[in-house]
Amino acid sequence: MSPSGGSPDRLRPGGDPPGRDRGAATRLRSLARRAGRPVAVAYLRRRLAAGRSFVLPLTTVLRLLYPEPFPTDLDLERAALSAAGGPVVRDLGTVRRILADLDGPSGGSPVLVRFGAADVEVVDVAGVSLALDRADTSVSGVIVAEGTYEPEITGLLARFLRPGMTFVDVGANVGYHALLAARAVGPTGRVVAVEPSSENCRLILLSAALNGFANVEVLPVALDDHQGWAHLSHHIGSNASFVPGGVEDLRRGHGTVVPVLRLDQLVSGRVDVVKLDVEGAEAHAVAGGASLIAASLPVVVTEVSAEMLQRVSGCSVRDYLGFFERLGYTAALVRPGRPEPEPIGDLDAFAGSWVDPFRIENLVLTPPPGSPGA
């Protein structure tokens, strides 16, 4: 089973003789049996963080990271070998790459390795410095490779945002849109970044500090129509999602408990532009911010997925858009590669045309003429 062709439990300290290799591996296995896997993982993390000269076989790491068997149709070792770049693990960065590639937004390993200084890459996007996670391929990797992210949304927000405005970014992720908005609204403006992932919040705070932005407020919470808590997957990478919070789910340790609040509780005063991208929880977030939205009538840029809305919010696309329709909003479809949004004249026909439940679209919702956000 070992990708290196040797014993899967063999621990090979760099330069040490074979007899000592087996002794180190035995100690690690013994520690896991006596004190439990979390203690053994903590020991491993301390060794790696201290820069000790040793090499750990990939299969040993996998046994610690994934104590529960993976589905038989997933070639775990082959995927891990690709992520690690070889059959051994020498540092925490490699462990994080394995977790980022093998875990999914719905969870996977009960182990979380937070990013350290060596995992942070700072890139310049349109004059704004962004702190990004090297192990995050879903958003950070795209920004590093392409120098932008969701260019059609980026351009749309740049069109609406002006100095002195207030921008609320619900599902701020690594802070790409929030940080660009902070520059656009200037020191007299305000950016509220709502993001339940602690690791993403760390990146946003780092980016704000790098740019000297004092107009960015980070709210490390999830939004809903009530106050409470939620169970968030701690998948490495920026697109975390809510996972079940039953007793057995909480016991398995595949997520982090995060506070849940209503947007109406958190933000007061005029709001000019809102971005919503929370993996199907958009309807919940809007319900908890109904008073704020009705009072300010901001421009709203929102992701829409029929499958995620129904699964997470228990809401259809038509019902979600119906809230804005009752306030006098008009909707337009934001198409990749097209400079102008396409107006949606008939919401019933638009929602009815949603044949593929996994289809994902971005919409811009414009308030009625004469309102503050129009």
| pLDDT given at position 287 | 97
| pLDDT given at position 202 | 97
Radius of gyration of the chain from its Cα atoms, rounded to whole angstroms: 23
| pLDDT given at position 102 | 82
Secondary structure element (H or E) that encloses residue 31, with its range? helix 18-35
Q: What is the mean pLDDT of each run of 10 residues along the chain (374 residues)?
A: 36 37 61 73 68 74 79 68 89 88 73 90 97 92 95 96 98 97 98 96 98 98 95 74 81 88 97 96 97 97 95 94 97 90 95 90 94 66
Instruction: List, in sequence order, every residue forming a beta bridge with 218; answer none if it has no partner.
Output: 193
Distance CA(347)–CA(262), nearest Å, equals: 27
Residue type, 303: E
| pLDDT given at position 261 | 98
Distance CA(262)–CA(243), nearest Å, equals: 19
Which part of the chain is CATH 3.40.50.150? 120-366
| pLDDT given at position 5 | 36
| pLDDT given at position 21 | 44
| pLDDT given at position 111 | 86
Distance CA(201)–CA(305), nearest Å, equals: 25
| pLDDT given at position 74 | 58
Residue type, 194: V
Quick one: fold of 120-366?
Rossmann fold (3.40.50)
